[in-house]
Amino acid sequence: LSVVICLWSAAPGKDEAILAQRSEQLTKAHYLRARTRLARLRLGAARADLHEAVRLGPPAQTAQLLRQLERDVDIAEKEQLRSNRRIAKEVARFTENAMQNLQCSQLEAFGGARAD
């Protein structure tokens, strides 16, 4: 899709019909690439493609699809944040449990405690 976007962006033409077709094809390509990037959880890149597609001034039906995809990206971002928090809590619990079970001499080896 990146190749398609490059080719349509570089396509010569000043005729109004050609410009309209170029805009339509670029909008579709950006939309499809945004969906692909969303599926791969490349959320920033997906959002950039969505903004570029909106900038091209799509028809109402396509604009509605773009808004829906933007909502999907928002949902994916929130889920990713929730997942990251969950993982951070699990790592913190694991670390705390591991450190509690160590003897003072073992902590000294880490440099985390001194013998009294």
Question: For the segment 93-115, what is each residue's pLDDT rounded down to a tens digit?
Answer: 888 887 777 777 666 776 654 55
Contacts of residue 4, defined as CB under 8 A and 6 or more positions apart, other chains included, come to: 25, 29
Q: Which residue has the higher pLDDT, 46 or 87?
A: 46
Give just the sign of the alpha carbon dihedral 61, 62, 63, 65: positive
HSE-up (13 A, CA, CB side) for residue 72: 18
HSE-up (13 A, CA, CB side) for residue 37: 21
Asked if 9 contacts 30 with a C-beta cutoff of 8 angstroms, the reply is no
Q: What is the pTM of this model?
A: 0.68
Place 21 in a pLDDT band, splitting at 50, 70 and 90: confident
- Residue 27: is its pLDDT beyond 80? yes
- Give the integer Cα–Cα distance in Å for 63 and 93: 45
Which of 12-26, 36-50, 93-107 has the lowest average pLDDT? 93-107
pLDDT at 111: 66
Question: pLDDT for 76-92, tens place per residue?
Answer: 999 988 888 888 888 88
Segment 16-25 mean pLDDT: 84
Segment 65-77 mean pLDDT: 96
